[in-house]
Chains A and B, each alone.
Chain A
Amino acid sequence: MDSMEDKLRQALYRHDCPDPLRLGEYHLDLLPPPDRQSIAEHLGFCPHCRLEVARLAGFLTATRETPGRPDEPSLLEKVQVFLVDLLAPTGGDAPRPAALRTAGDPLQDQTQFRVHRLGDYLVSITIQPPGSGDRVAIMGDLANLEDPAVTFESWTLHVWQHGRLLQVTPVDAGGGFTLEIARGAPFELILSGPEVEIHLRHPGHE
């Protein structure tokens, strides 16, 4: 038979301790003042929670593998990003660059051809109709207008569709790239170069 002390300890042991997440929110200073005050008082009494907070603090600061250090973006070497809507009407709002030239009906059966001037870069995109299949062929070409001798070995093409990164392929030295993509759903092509990114968005079509 349990002694009175055993019974009391069984019933009461740490009955008033906050759960680990709440203790952590206290440690991260995320609680409103009344809750914060109540946990601060509890920590004054409870050696277990004091130890738990100390261990949590150790875990949170143990490793320097956490990205997101709050650097000032203005102090960083920034990546220049261009957003392009591949079906945008000519003369879209800034910063959306205007298509220099378009041809074809993007919605159905004709080849779509677009050229965009984006800062120092010229991007041309050809989207071929799927014909009887369910894949659309896309060919693209990048050029640097300021320095035509620039090559593009270090650039990559990221293809996103249905919220998933479908493929990452290198752009060839001359700036060319080709891919196939499922017809219908919206997709986004992202050309990544050193400190430059070009996001080409297509809303898809039936």
Chain B
Amino acid sequence: MMPEPELSAFSLEGLAHRCRRETERFFQRGSSDDRYCFALFRQAIAGRSTRAWELVFDQYAPLVTGWIARHPAFAGAEEERAYFVNRAFERMWQAMTPEKFGRMANLKALIAYLKLCVHAAIIEHVERRTNPQEWSEADMAGDINRRTAGREPAEIVQGELHALTVWEAVSAALKSEAEQVIARCSFVYDMKPAEIAADYPDLFPDVRAVYRQKENLLSRLSRDPQLLAIWQENA
């Protein structure tokens, strides 16, 4: 038998072809030789070859489309699958640096990352366009209504600066570990007093203790000159 050709001897098209056939073999037999697809990704990411990236896109777009359709938040995203296919590949192209590629052990790791990009593209889209109150508890997106919801990028940056300023002022006013926990859990993570009491039994013997300390804290924060100045500035 003749020696096996080195992967570096293949053209991009040849790699794409072998990648496609090995993917077919995977679906038919449950096993495949992933070196060709991995080499195609390497050319695209580590080699920053846009032509290789186009071939990766052609190869994996159908798979990505299927993932999008099955993502739990897709139904509420009110956008076409093709839109998220493009966003997911864009995210991967931007985020997967040659250095990060070096940490990818095999094709399975790359495919998992591509799937992560699908997830991120959908979640970020939903966060940007959705009023947090619209999500029901049953939704996948029920807890993703973070502060960026419905805001433009410039507003997000401004919001982050504002958040940091407010948090510094709040932190300076805290007098105990219990207050730190109340501030973080109540104002940052929107947890109910009962949830806080359940998560921190060492600090709060019961839910009433949370209510009491939270009330004291809010009362003090309402008079805090630093916070009053921030509200004044942002009025």
Contact between A83 and B31, CB atoms less than 8 A apart? no
Given A20-B123, A82-B2; A28-B116 close (CB under 8 Å): yes
Contact between B112 and A28, CB atoms less than 8 A apart? yes
A149 within 8 A of B: no
A82 and B120 CA atoms in complex are apart in Å by 41
Given A158-B17, A160-B13; A71-B32 close (CB under 8 Å): yes
A32 and B151 CA atoms in complex are apart in Å by 30
Chain A residues positioned under 8 Å from B212 (CB to CB) = none
Determine how close the nearest CB of chain A comes to the CB of B165; give it in whole angstroms.
8
Q: Which residue of A lies closest to B221 (CB)?
A: A4
Given A192-B21, A199-B10; A55-B72 close (CB under 8 Å): yes
A117 and B134 CA atoms in complex are apart in Å by 68
Contact between B187 and A9, CB atoms less than 8 A apart? yes
Contact between A14 and B32, CB atoms less than 8 A apart? no
Q: Which of B16, B23, B187 contacts A12 (CB 8 A)?
A: B187
Given A45-B184, A79-B33, A163-B51; A67-B107 close (CB under 8 Å): yes
A27 and B51 CA atoms in complex are apart in Å by 30
- A42-86, CB < 8 A from B: 45-48, 51-52, 55-56, 59-60, 62-63, 65-71, 73, 75-76, 78-83
Contact between B106 and A30, CB atoms less than 8 A apart? no
Q: Which of B70, B117, B123, B218 contacts A4 (CB 8 A)?
A: B218
A-contact 0/1 string along B188-199, CB 8 Å cutoff:
111100010000
Contact between B170 and A12, CB atoms less than 8 A apart? yes
The main secondary structure of chain B at its interface with chain A is helix
A63 and B167 CA atoms in complex are apart in Å by 41
B138 within 8 A of A: no
B22 within 8 A of A: yes
A82 and B10 CA atoms in complex are apart in Å by 10
Given A69-B26, A197-B18, A199-B11; A81-B116 close (CB under 8 Å): no
Q: Which residue of B lies closest to A190 (CB)?
A: B17
How large, as a class, is the contact surface on chain A?
Answer: 35 or more
Contact between A83 and B9, CB atoms less than 8 A apart? yes
A7 and B22 CA atoms in complex are apart in Å by 56
* Total interface residues in chain B, CB < 8 Å: 83
A24 within 8 A of B: yes
Determine how close the nearest CB of chain B comes to the CB of A174; give it in whole angstroms.
24
Contact between A24 and B187, CB atoms less than 8 A apart? no
Chain B residues positioned under 8 Å from A25 (CB to CB) = 116
Contact between A95 and B4, CB atoms less than 8 A apart? yes
B48 within 8 A of A: no
A165 and B120 CA atoms in complex are apart in Å by 31
A201 within 8 A of B: yes
Chain A residues positioned under 8 Å from B27 (CB to CB) = 67
- B175-222, CB < 8 A from A: 184-191, 195, 218, 221-222
Given A60-B115, A68-B26; A19-B120 close (CB under 8 Å): yes
B144 within 8 A of A: yes
B172 within 8 A of A: no
Q: Which residue of B lies closest to A9 (CB)?
A: B187
Determine how close the nearest CB of chain A comes to the CB of B220; give it in whole angstroms.
10
Chain B residues positioned under 8 Å from A145 (CB to CB) = none
Q: Which of A4, A9, A79 contacts B21 (CB 8 A)?
A: A79
Given A11-B162, A15-B160, A68-B26; A21-B91 close (CB under 8 Å): yes
Chain A residues positioned under 8 Å from B166 (CB to CB) = 8, 11-12
Chain A positions near chain B (C-beta within 8 angstroms)? 4-5, 7-9, 11-17, 19-21, 24-25, 27-28, 30, 45-48, 51-52, 55-56, 59-60, 62-63, 65-71, 73, 75-76, 78-83, 94-97, 118-119, 158, 160, 163, 165, 188, 190, 192, 197, 199, 201
The 8 closest A-B pairs by CB, nearest first: A68-B107, A15-B163, A14-B146, A24-B116, A160-B13, A67-B26, A21-B120, A20-B120
